Amino acid sequence: MAPRKNVRMTLAYDGRDFHGWQRHPGVPTVQGTLEAALSEACGAPVEVRGAGRTDRGTHARGQVASARVPAEIDAASLGAQVAKRLPSSLELVALTEVDRSFHARMSAVGKRYVYTIHNAAELPAEARGKVWHVPEPLDVGAMQEVLSMFVGEHDFASFATKATHARKSTVRTVSVFTMEVEGPRIVFRIEADGFLYKMVRNIVRAVVKVGEGRWSAAKLQEILDARDRHAAPGTAPASGLCLDEVFYPQEADGDE
């Protein structure tokens, strides 16, 4: 094989146009669309690795991917060539050459997700598919009060939808979990060293149960302590979720 170098890409996309991140024959996916554009621009097959496998309908502002491309191709030129081959719903925010050891998923040390709820009777047409529409009024004060119980190191087994891939542990450390009310919009921001499958959406659904007056803080603590997915409620829609940023150690961000 001809010599290759490693590139890092930052991506933003509208999840409504894709069947999730992971490539799948016959349907548009983010990984598949990006690989097709990269391969065409490079004149050779290119495999892309993403920082996270977002589900169908989930959005991103700061998804990160890495790929090995032919060494002779200039990174700046490649970025321009790839960008013009992508649909409007998938934006290549940046493409840079990085050290060969960089891996979009394995090198990550944390992520931030944003989840948005539109809490009003009517949903503007432009917001459809971009938020979770909850028409009934929510008690935002009660919701605010329970956020802190998720911060810190916990076993989040009760909030992890079973996935097909094996996982060694369901313990994660949440460093930030905030909620802001912006008119009819409720915006959650959650940062952690890692997330289990559908963990953010499951936590948001549980917090909304409190806002609906159907659960108390004590009930939520009981569910967290149970470490059993069957104890928790359903899952909030993918439409409100956005991968906002992926965090890496400083030394992973540039050439060495």
Share of the chain residues as helix, strand and coil, in percent rounded to the nearest 5: 30, 30, 40
CB of 197 within 8 A of CB of 162?
yes
CB of 205 within 8 A of CB of 199?
no
d(CA 170, CA 202): 14
Choose among 234, 231, 230, 235: nearest CA to 221. 231
d(CA 256, CA 141): 48
Question: Is 225 among the residues known to form the active site?
Answer: no
d(CA 250, CA 83): 26
CB of 219 within 8 A of CB of 233?
no
Tokens standing for residue 49: 């690795």
Provide φ and ψ at 154, rounded to 5°. -145, 160
CB of 30 within 8 A of CB of 13?
yes
d(CA 41, CA 93): 17
Provide φ and ψ at 175, rounded to 5°. -95, -30
Q: Which member of 14, 55, 139, 228 is catalytic?
A: 55
DSSP class of residue 81 equals: H
Q: Which residues are catalytic?
A: 55
